[in-house]
Structure 1
């Protein structure tokens, strides 16, 4: 993101969907329930009932039925076909696989992370926890905030609340128009025209969007638009406002693409040979990303500009973004920096851990490079500590 001050609709960020909207979202969603089975029958049943009540399908061993596959592989296959992972951690770690050393719950968690599922993990209020289970919990807390619950009923309530929050984020995706970040109720893009509809609750956001209108003398200046894995310049052609009876303003922003989404660009195609080492375009992208996120040294010296990636974190450090909204807004910043610079075609996976006492947090980022000569880009992954 550029250094222009960001204007964020924080009020809309807290909005939740109606029960009917949540059920519409949940209709085709599969939620995998992961835990040891012995001793947690009541918890698993309560969670499954809560998932069904929302309209989604619980995926749990009790209803798997007969399978040709090895049980462990059957579990992992079901994880891959699911949308959300719900982990329940009690005192026991579970039997360890002879080959991997992981319990079934741990292996399912790792597969869920690998496949990019939405994740929620709850810890039961127990007197003692096995050593392997404590280690597993510490691993989970690197990237996820867990919650301790003291009854099956409380667990079911919290799982339902988490699914509500996931539905809100999926149905009302975040987007960025110029320096304005807001939650949209819909985004339409036909390759030429982008239409963003939103219920705006913040007056500063509504005012900033109104200022994008063409002034009647000439065409509006182009602004950067970011949503999903899409980023590009577009010119606002109209901004429609409808003041509702509540505290929000219905806004429809229509923009015309100004040259379409960028391809790799010149730097995205460059390789570099130092005489002793050769760096591919994907190598240079990784160097730039590590430099931008983790402030790692650039080994290219005076030719370091070949690996340049715009610094995505700076503008976010002064916005007061809540923990709840940090991940989707940080994703926008990364898409703008990586896809916008031609270093990536999309973000594959993003994990952002909770903030520690020293103001740091862990980040894992996986991306896919740009398509070259008809071939899909190479996937790369980095992991490190950020301050935001």
Structure 2
């Protein structure tokens, strides 16, 4: 499934908008947790509620929790657990500390990270002289992993929350996928177990030409990667309609190829396969020496080699990095699911990466293995 040539990424597809109906479809059934100091920000919270309800989603807010037979801090965290998106509004004050030692907002933010919710952070007064020290520390830590938005007015906050929710919806509804060496945004992605169909609006003539070449030259086995799987496929059909000189609506049919056995997973010098995979990735991605010369085979593979040195906008870089890391973990039998992925903004040439996956369970009657967490500073140049 390997192809050493650089990826061809349809970069212009990052700007593809959703229709209002698509946005409402995405919002239906979604829950969005709103986290902030309550008494300080009544107008801001009302504006965020409006932004959430405007897309058909349900805001989860303390004001709506009502009487419960659990403590307030437990009720907050239960709300985070059942939410798809966490919206944090951080201002100058840290807030009263709970028995855990954290403020309610800090505890909710940490819980959202733990459960893998999508994170959207909005900050007022960043760097101001009146900001509490613990609040400054909380924001500095959050900005290591997340791109935050500042706001100075209620109207600006509502507009920025609406924009961020639309971005998250677009990422969910039009996931990036890899076919061979091309990476495109899927408008539709369906599979019946043996055949996968991808509908995409390609805005790169080079990407379109590569797909046509796969069809016309009956390319053999190609790698296919989505956010949830990696497999070998053959492109069996490609139909295109041209909307303009640089826009092609493609319908791509892929037939799954027989898998070449299951990757061997075994202890290595007393290191279990899940810990071995984590250490191997840490050494390759972060330059650590956790395996101390014990790497061999796929453990020497750099999953991000195909994009190193390319100038890729953040809106595209994050999903592409996730695709490549997921492909490495799926193809080598290390992961059953990717549970959390965060790639922070560039700071001094590096980005903080946080990746968590659930390993496969080789025994049907055994408890599921614990998730594996990889975290460190990644350099992509």
**Cα drift, residue 306 of structure 1:** 6.2
Q: Look up the match of 1:310.
A: 301
Aligned to 1:336: 327
> Which of 137, 145, 165 is 2:147 aligned to?
145
Task: Tell me if 1:35 matches 2:26.
Answer: no
Residue 115 of structure 1 corresponds to which residue in structure 2?
115
Shift of 1:139: 1.1
Across the aligned residues of Structure 1 and Structure 2, the Cα RMSD in angstroms comes to: 1.8
- Within 5 Å, give how 1:220-231 maps onto structure 2: 220-231=219-230
1:298 and 1:158 mapped to 2: Cα distance?
Answer: 42
Query: Partners in 2 of 1:195 and 1:78 — Cα distance?
Result: 37
Tell me by how many angstroms 1:64 deviates: 1.4
Do 1:369 and 1:379's aligned partners in 2 also have CA atoms closer than 8 Å?
Answer: yes
| Higher mean displacement: 304-313 or 282-291 | 304-313
Confirm or deny: 8 A CA contact 1:263 1:370 kept in the other structure: no
Structure 1 equivalent of residue 352 of structure 2: 362
Which string of whole-angstrom CA distances, capped at 9 and with x for unpartnered residues, describes residues 256-290 of structure 1?
A: 11114x77512xx22123xxxx1112222122111
What's 1:125 paired with?
A: 125
Q: TM-score, normalised by structure 1?
A: 0.92
Deviation, structure 1 residue 248: 2.1
* CA–CA separation in structure 1 for the residues paired with 2:313 and 2:30: 27
The 5 A counterparts of 1:135-284 are 135-215=137-217, 220-244=219-243, 247-260=246-259, 264-266=262-264, 269-273=265-269, 278-284=270-276
Which consecutive aligned stretches of 4+ in structure 1 deviate over 4 angstroms post-superposition?
none
Q: Provide closer, same or farther for how the CA distance between residues 68 and 27 of structure 1 changes in structure 2, counting only shifts above 3 A.
A: same
Aligned residues: 375
Q: C-alpha deviations, 1:298-350, integer Å up to 9, x for none? A: 5353x521671521122222332111222211110001111112222222111
For 2:17 and 2:349, the matched residues in 1 are separated by 29
In the TM superposition, residue 229 of structure 1 has moved relative to its aligned partner by 2.1
Residue matched to 1:326 = 317
Contact 1:6 / 1:319 at 8 angstroms: preserved in 2? no
Measure the CA separation in 2 of the matches of 1:206 and 1:272. 44
Aligned residue for 1:251, secondary structure, equals strand
C-alpha distance in 1 between matches for 2:282 and 2:153: 43
Q: Which runs of 5+ in 1 are unaligned?
A: none
Q: Are residues 95 and 263 of structure 1, via their aligned partners in 2, closer, same or farther at CA, if it must alter by over 3 Å?
A: farther
More deviation, 175-184/89-98 = 89-98
89-98 or 120-129: which moved more? 120-129
Contact (CA 8 Å) 1:309, 1:337: kept in 2 or not? no
- Give the whole-Å Cα distance in 2 for the aligned partners of 1:25 and 1:75: 24
SS at match of 1:94: coil
| Cα distance in 2, alignment partners of residues 311 and 78 from structure 1 | 39
Cα pair 1:284 1:307 within 8 Å, conserved: no
For the residues of structure 1 that align with 2:261 and 2:369, how far apart are their CA atoms?
12
The alignment partner of 2:189 has SS state of: strand
Q: Distance in 2 between matches of 1:227 and 1:114?
A: 23
Give secondary structure in 2 for the equivalent of 1:314: coil
246-255 vs 19-28, which deviates more?
246-255
- Per the alignment, residue 8 of structure 1 pairs with 9
Matched residues in 2 for 1:362 and 1:140: separation? 11
In the alignment, the residues of structure 2 paired with residue 270 and residue 40 of structure 1 have an alpha-carbon distance, to the nearest angstrom, of 54
- Supply the distance in 2 between the matched residues of 1:143 and 1:288 (Cα, whole angstroms): 22
- Once the 2 structures are TM-superposed, how far is the Cα of residue 32 of structure 1 from its aligned partner? 0.7
2:280 paired with 1:288: yes
